[in-house]
Amino acid sequence: MTEDLALKYSAVILVTFIGILAIGMMLVANFLLAPKKKTLEKALPFECGIPASPFSWSQIHMRYYIFAILFLIFDVEAVFLLPWILVFMEPITMSPWVFYEMVFFIAILLFGIVYSWKKGMLKWK
């Protein structure tokens, strides 16, 4: 069994390696073929005609963070759904408890969505 799983994921490493190799070849070809003439104008950041103001650390709006937290919470919930979808119909675990447990679980988190909706957090402002 050990061999099996390690072998399966060795295929993943292999594909990663080949992917990197392939785009590496593309980058090397680009490096060899492309002209390399540096000028001051080319090194400027893109702007719409005006001289670019120096880039500094930009503080982001709170809303991004709220949505990231929401995403994290529902991602974790999805992970809990994963074992459940496979076992809730199996004879060992098939009981109304297991089934309604998950319905309750989803209901609690949907309450979270409703709450943030009411608080106006789902609005992009």
Figure out which of the listed residues 49, 50, 51, 57 binds other proteins, where binding follows CB under 8 A.
57
- What minimum distance in Å lies between the beta carbon of 41 and other proteins? 10
The answer to whether residue 62 forms part of the interface with other proteins (CB under 8 A) is: yes
The answer to whether residue 22 forms part of the interface with other proteins (CB under 8 A) is: yes
CA distance 113 to 65: 16
The answer to whether residue 50 forms part of the interface with other proteins (CB under 8 A) is: no
Sketch the per residue contact string, 82 through 111, with other proteins: x for CB under 8 A, - otherwise: xxxxxxxxx-xx---xxx-xxxxxx-xxxx
Calculate Rg over the CA atoms of the chain: 26
Q: Kindly report the number of other CB atoms within 10 A of residue 110's CB atom.
A: 11
The answer to whether residue 49 forms part of the interface with other proteins (CB under 8 A) is: no
Figure out which of the listed residues 42, 49, 50, 51 binds other proteins, where binding follows CB under 8 A.
42
CA distance 47 to 41: 11
On whether the CB atoms of residues 121 and 66 are closer than 8 A, the answer is yes
